[in-house]
Amino acid sequence: MEYKLQATSPGSEARAGVITTDHGEIQTPIFMPVGTLGSVKGVHTREIRDDIKAQIILGNTYHLYLRPGIEILEKAGGLHKFNGWERPILTDSGGFQVFSLSSNRKLKEEGAYFRSHIDGSKHLFTPEGVVDIQRSIGADIMMALDECAPGTADYDYAKQSLGLTHRWLKRGWDRFNATEGKYGYRQTFFPIVQGCVYPDLRRESAKFVSDLGAEGNAIGGLAVGEPTEQMYDMIEVVNEILPKDKPRYLMGVGTPANILEAIDRGVDMMDCVMPTRNGRNGMIFTRNGIMNMRNKKWEDDFSPLDEGGAAWVDEVYSRAYVRHLFISSELLAMQIASIHNLAFYLWLVGEARKHIIAGDFKAWKTEMVQRVTQRL
């Protein structure tokens, strides 16, 4: 993987760049739709590519390991062949999913023991094993196994957790460098900065991660219960240390405003289930604010869903019709909302990129944050 920094914007840490992988280029800043099980819920691959214009999607090691299983993925020739997506794929290590199973997992030095949420079967994720699984999945970018401490964790727990994460990271990094991909193209490995909301731990982790010299780095353990302003503070602390010539991936974030604020602080890559999950529940994000499509106020509003929006569904379907679909529990409602929200998120980061290159990102961001946070 290669990264080229192309532009910065005055008064901001925002950056525009390009990541080159063997499955294509990614123009940053970028939002990555989440395809946990190899599928972005309710959206066809063609729509992700042509309508939403996604440049990279995510898969999840925990879920793909359990279903369909590594043997099937290897027989298919990797996830790209299995789901028909020809552009880059990033896989989360599954650590966050394992650690969310608080009553069904145990953390040991050797790794994370857990029970499947599907059938209760016992499994072990080690730092080395997670690398091997992601080699079999065939992700262009794979993540290190880490422990994601709660945002409300006390200092002692966060410090102990960080030590385990760093020891696991070294083992995963060694395994990555001792192995090769299975499908004839290059893969890369991102370590993850942890440290909860404690600046000294975040600095320690950012230094440890930077010293590895990986081709890109991730920031984890944010948007997990801590106040938003603390999340922004931790991004600033970490990005003071992470190398400027490598892409920075903020994991699991977030709202349109979160994304703009993260870009302002030097983040290049983001992902979140919010556009699809919230969309399936009737929340529509637009450049002028947020709509709850179940509200009666849209019952006889025959204007476009989002006039001038980024997706074809915005002009084809009225607000009244989409509300009708949600009230009637029609599956089409969830599909329309998912396509719209994802296209909006990709439009938003694309506009951010344009304004970074133009040099007026800061003023544009300030206005956009006010617009995208209001309720319509």
The residues, ordered by sequence, that sit 6+ positions from 45 with a Cβ below 8 Å of its Cβ are 83, 84, 85
**Other Cβ atoms closer than 10 A to 103:** 5
Cα–Cα distance for residue pair 159/166, rounded to 1 Å: 11
Please compute Rg for the chain using Cα positions: 20
Nearest to 19 by CA among 140, 138, 135, 137: 140
Catalytic positions? 92, 271
> Which helix H or strand E contains 92, and what residues bound it?
strand 89-92
**Nearest Cα residue to 153 out of 101, 202, 196, 200:** 196
Per-residue buried b or exposed e for 38-76, using 16+ beta carbons within 10 Å of the residue's own CB: bbbbbbebebbbebbebbbbbbbbbbbbbebebeebbee
Beta 248-250 vs 217-219: how paired, if at all? Answer: parallel
Distance CA 81, CA 182 (A): 13
Query: Distance between CA atoms of 230 and 246, rounded to whole angstroms?
Result: 24
Neighbours of 350 (CB within 10 A): 16
DSSP 298: G
